[in-house]
Copies of this chain bind each other. A is one copy, B any other.
Amino acid sequence: MGKKNVTFDDIAKYTNFSKTTISRYFNNPDSLTLENQQIISDALEALNYKENKVARILANGKTEFVGVIIPNLYMHYYAQMLSEILATYERFGYKFLVFEGNQDKAVEQQYIQELLAYKIEGLIVLSHTISSQELASYNIPTVTIEREDQYTCSVNTDNYMGAVQAASLLFKNDCDILFHLNQQVSETTPGYQRIQGFLDICREHSLPHRLILTSFGRTYEENEKRLGEIFRELEENYHGKKKGVFVSNDTHANIFLNLLIRKYGRLPEEYRIVGFDDSPIARSAIVPISTVGQQIGTIAHQAMELLVTQMNERKKRKPTPLTEPIHQIVAPVLIRRSTTD
């Protein structure tokens, strides 16, 4: 063990300040001039205090920790987004406390309260559990990704444009009828715009279409069961028609594709599929899936930049808080693979 603590005495001797001054540095740094703060900070370095960053956190409130709340790691989209967020360490130096929300609001709130007690500097929230209004009330720099964001800064994909790209591609594939499979999303989430974009393109081209908004469950087994029911219903009711299916994420698009391949041994001419996200499963599917690519790396990077700006502002002597949240939009990229012509 052998931890050797540098004491206030040591620091006082080194700097020629009184112990009271050193104590003020740790307890109320703003009561010292910036110059004297710097002298003490330099002394801490020299005395190899750098081995105990906790002291510096006490001094300047900088923990370099950011909390990340994701809904799950089962969805490939979230696993990849987390991967891209973690990768920003090399650029920005922030370290990430990761929590999987699993939709239990009380546990998620408790976790965030703990992080706040540890003086984390910021939060990136992908889970939908806690409203943006409540997140904003925590009074800590926060950026949300692809969730309700009325009161928080956010970085989202242009979901409307993505849906327009997907529906237009299925239209150009000469589909007789278009389907959009999605969760029952609230109007306040960015994902709701996918429904709007889909509907607008269908109406523009007077294309028969149907929205299938439903709950898919939270495990693979539940997902597959629900998608199986939908698949059998389409087979029964739309036989002989060329069906264009726009699925709201690649994980579900892949399950839907597998149902087709299990029945037909290949993707029948009667079906065209477009997913959403461009998560790894779209590439590695049995038939590589056409998809609306979210630029996950770009989103993660912009989210961190937006967060770092806010966190740096907080460190100023007289921070200017944002008057209203900033919402950034990242363009989607249509990726044509083998589930469309």
A: residues with CB less than 8 A from B are 1, 3, 5-8, 19-20, 23-24, 26-28, 50-55, 57-58, 61, 63-65, 72-74, 79-80, 82-83, 86-87, 89-90, 95-100, 102, 107, 111, 114-119, 139, 220-221, 224, 254-255, 258, 261-262, 265-266, 280, 283-287, 314, 319
Nearest B residue to A119, CB-CB: B54
Residue pair B74, A280 in contact (C-beta under 8 Å):
yes
Residue pair B262, A97 in contact (C-beta under 8 Å):
no
A86: chain B residues at CB < 8 Å are: 98-100
Within the oligomer, what is the number of copies of this chain?
A: 2
A25: min CB distance to chain B, Å: 11
Tell whether A53 pairs with B118 under 8 Å between CB atoms, given A82-B73, A111-B89. yes
Per the bound structure, the CA–CA distance linking A114 and B51 in Å amounts to 8
Residue pair A220, B1 in contact (C-beta under 8 Å):
no
Main secondary structure of the interface of A (DSSP, over half): helix
A83: chain B residues at CB < 8 Å are: 72-74, 100
Per the bound structure, the CA–CA distance linking A286 and B224 in Å amounts to 12
Tell whether A254 pairs with B23 under 8 Å between CB atoms, given A52-B119, A319-B1. no
A338: min CB distance to chain B, Å: 10
A6: chain B residues at CB < 8 Å are: 27
Residue pair A58, B65 in contact (C-beta under 8 Å):
no
**19 A-B Cβ contacts within 8 A?**
A5-B27, A6-B27, A7-B27, A23-B23, A52-B117, A53-B117, A54-B63, A63-B118, A65-B118, A73-B73, A73-B83, A86-B99, A90-B107, A95-B118, A98-B98, A220-B280, A220-B283, A255-B284, A262-B286
A254: chain B residues at CB < 8 Å are: 284
Which of A6, A79, A119, A224 has most B Cβ within 10 Å?
A79
Residue pair A27, B54 in contact (C-beta under 8 Å):
no
**Which one of B3, B87, B97, B139 contacts A97 once the chains associate, using CB atoms below 8 Å?**
B97
Tell whether A65 pairs with B7 under 8 Å between CB atoms, given A73-B82, A286-B258. no
Residue pair A111, B95 in contact (C-beta under 8 Å):
yes
Per the bound structure, the CA–CA distance linking A95 and B99 in Å amounts to 8
A122: min CB distance to chain B, Å: 14
A97: chain B residues at CB < 8 Å are: 65, 95-98
Residue pair B286, A261 in contact (C-beta under 8 Å):
yes
Per the bound structure, the CA–CA distance linking A98 and B88 in Å amounts to 12
**Which one of B19, B57, B72, B287 contacts A54 once the chains associate, using CB atoms below 8 Å?**
B57
Per the bound structure, the CA–CA distance linking A111 and B90 in Å amounts to 9
Which of A87, A95, A221 has most B Cβ within 10 Å?
A95
Residue pair A79, B73 in contact (C-beta under 8 Å):
yes
A283: chain B residues at CB < 8 Å are: 220-221
Per the bound structure, the CA–CA distance linking A8 and B96 in Å amounts to 31
A139: chain B residues at CB < 8 Å are: 1
A335: min CB distance to chain B, Å: 14
Which of A54, A64, A287 has most B Cβ within 10 Å?
A54
A1: chain B residues at CB < 8 Å are: 139, 314, 319
Residue pair A73, B63 in contact (C-beta under 8 Å):
no
